[in-house]
Structure 1
Amino acid sequence: MVGRVRGIKAAALALFVLGVAACSETVVAPVEPVLKPNARPAPTPKPAPAPQVAKPTSQESATLRSYLNQVQNAQLGQGLLRRDGAGADTPFTSAMLARNFEKIAFFNEYDSSFSGRGGASPLRRWSAPVRMDVIFGAGVPPSQRKSDTANVRSYAARLAQITGHPIAMEKQANFMVIIAGEDDRAEALAAAAARLPGISIGSLGPLINLRRDAYCVVAAYASGTGSNTYTTAVAVIRAENPSLLRLSCIHEELAQGLGLANDSPDARPSIFNDDDEFALLTRHDELLLKMLYDPRLRTGMKADDARPTVQRIAAELADGGGPV
């Protein structure tokens, strides 16, 4: 910069000398140019992501959706699908709680093909943390995906609080929740099989073709050395179910996938009863889940061996807050 200033002064002196000699020249001092940077181009806005659009459904799926809406409306009209968690009109004793736990935790609702009733079984539950994730069929609209995901997430947190067992939503899942319709259930189950080690699409075959009166179902699997310790589970919920029936399915199937594998007509107030009186988990059912994960019970125990402990735990829980 110094050298440049000096150069301007020398040029001015030379012009002055020329002016004296010629007398007709005007002396003009040179002006240093002002450089302006080129304007920065405005950033090109990123294109908005394409909105998620559900795949059109078939007439079969639409007919099933209409049928299930009629089922829900009929049940509500009969006072079923209660959401109050039970109350004074449905008392239960510690003996009833112990009896219901034995029938629900030590028996299977279905056989391995889901075509008939199951039989007696040892106590089964998870030892590893339960990591849930949801896979939706292509025909499930975005608004339903959002609400169903929120319901699974909040219910998983509730189950963890009740049982004291780690249960949460994670992408690296070992408990897949499939919410899909007639048109895309097979594809959703194939996606689940691809993400679950040790599970093939063939092993999930019984979950593909559901009876019309089956709103939802769950299958839990044990692998490794512990034949009664669950390591993987897949719940299937019909996307055609209206909102309350879908939520009811979330409550029942996710709890059953933890180890309460059976239903009983004597269980009341409970969602583990085919009478559909209650849509959502009740206080009675919360106590069943507490009992299931009580460390005094061991995975693999048979009903006869566990009965004294079950009765003792039931008495403690009933006296601690449940009706007596």
Structure 2
Amino acid sequence: MTRFSFCLFVLLISSTALSQERWQTDAYIQQSFIKIALEREYKETQFPKLIRWNKPIRLFFESDSGDARLQKELLSVHAQHLASITGLSIDFTPNPKQANIFVIFTDYKNMENKVRQYIGDPEKIRTALNEAICLGNFTRNGRYEITKGSIIIPVDYARSKNRFLDCIIEEITQLLGLPNDSNEVFPSVFNDVSVDTYISPLDYLLLKALYSRHLTPGMDVEQTQAAFPNVLKQLHANGDIENAVQRVQKYSLKKYLGD
């Protein structure tokens, strides 16, 4: 009887371990968060700091290319998905003076003009302009709070690369404070070689962590690592890690489109 009970106990432990994906482990979540939140894709940052929004987001939408109604519909669904995950208030405004994120849909030939209008000198982001399919740019204040962002999507070019939907999802998600891409983080929309178009369960956890009350803008890598056990504890207590596969779908664009 004792031997049988021991074998059954071992079997249950093994079954539980096998049911947990790699991305659900505490170490992998923390490692992924540091890489995506505290590193930068197009410039070296010697002393990276945590950044995020601390005020409501107001989106200004503009389109001079493609189906503007569909573009705004897709953007709206995804924005509300992000709001539900992070707790941020995200809404549209028709007044550009009230906006703090500008989302521009245009043609590839107009990219540099739109960069000049909404971001600044194209030469300052020349590498990104030459390499990226779509662009996202943000500014922050001295407290490392994001205060403004711009997203420019060349509709014709993005569609020719089969990345139109990816651009909408990835760029605004990154503008919330997860600015880096890494092929070491999987599954994730922040992985350039991944086939993920929609926010993955791991991305859901990274967003939850970013807006955890245990983290604050301006934290460096060491401070973030020191605080992260409390972030993980909160995620476990809320059931977010264990139920991420189901929870990431609530209000998602993937569910909305029936994919």
Structure 1 segments of 4+ aligned residues over 6 angstroms from their partners? 87-90
CA contact (8 A) 2:39 2:45 kept: yes
The one-letter code sitting in structure 2 at the alignment partner of 1:168 is D
Q: Which residue of 1 aligns with 2:83?
A: 160
CA gap of 1:313–1:89, structure 2 versus 1, over 3 A, is closer
User: C-alpha separation between the residues in 2 aligned to 1:208 and 1:132?
Assistant: 26
Q: Which residue of 2 aligns with 1:275?
A: 193
CA contact (8 A) 1:97 1:288 kept: yes
User: C-alpha separation between the residues in 1 aligned to 2:70 and 2:226?
Assistant: 42
SS at match of 2:152: strand
The one-letter code sitting in structure 1 at the alignment partner of 2:241 is G
Partner of residue 41 from structure 2, selected from 93, 105, 109: 109
Q: Which residue of 2 aligns with 1:253?
A: 171
- 1:120-135 correspondence runs (5 A): 120-135=47-62
Query: Per-residue displacement from partner, 1:221-259 (whole Å, max 9, x unpaired)?
Result: 024x43x11111111222122295111111111011111
The one-letter code sitting in structure 1 at the alignment partner of 2:193 is D
Structure number with greater Rg is 1
Q: TM-score, normalised by structure 2?
A: 0.75
User: C-alpha separation between the residues in 2 aligned to 1:204 and 1:148?
Assistant: 28
User: C-alpha separation between the residues in 2 aligned to 1:101 and 1:209?
Assistant: 23
Q: Which residue of 1 aligns with 2:248?
A: none
Q: Which residue of 2 aligns with 1:242?
A: 159
Q: In the comparison of the two structures, how many residue pairs are matched?
A: 219
User: C-alpha separation between the residues in 2 aligned to 1:110 and 1:250?
Assistant: 19
Structure 1 stretches lacking a partner, 5+ long = 1-86, 112-116, 194-200
Identity fraction in percent: 27
CA contact (8 A) 2:136 2:152 kept: yes
User: C-alpha separation between the residues in 2 aligned to 1:252 and 1:303?
Assistant: 23
CA gap of 1:131–1:230, structure 2 versus 1, over 3 A, is same
1:179 equivalenced with 2:105 (yes/no)? yes
Structure with higher helix content: 2
Q: CA deviation at 1:188?
A: 3.3
Q: Which residue of 2 aligns with 1:202?
A: 121
Q: TM-score, normalised by structure 1?
A: 0.61
Q: Which residue of 1 aligns with 2:15?
A: none
The one-letter code sitting in structure 2 at the alignment partner of 1:232 is K
The one-letter code sitting in structure 1 at the alignment partner of 2:74 is N
Q: Which residue of 1 aligns with 2:28?
A: 96
CA contact (8 A) 2:215 2:227 kept: yes
The one-letter code sitting in structure 2 at the alignment partner of 1:218 is G
- 1:297-312 correspondence runs (5 A): 297-312=215-230
Q: Which residue of 2 aligns with 1:317?
A: 235
CA gap of 1:182–1:98, structure 2 versus 1, over 3 A, is same
Structure 2 stretches lacking a partner, 5+ long = 1-18, 244-259
1:192 equivalenced with 2:118 (yes/no)? yes
User: C-alpha separation between the residues in 2 aligned to 1:311 and 1:286?
Assistant: 18
Q: Which residue of 2 aligns with 1:232?
A: 148
Query: RMSD in angstroms over aligned alpha carbons?
Result: 2.7
Q: CA deviation at 1:89?
A: 7.4
Q: CA deviation at 1:183?
A: 2.0
Q: CA deviation at 1:276?
A: 3.0
User: C-alpha separation between the residues in 2 aligned to 1:175 and 1:151?
Assistant: 16
- 1:30-179 correspondence runs (5 A): 91-111=23-43, 118=45, 120-136=47-63, 138=64, 140-141=65-66, 144-171=67-94, 172-179=98-105
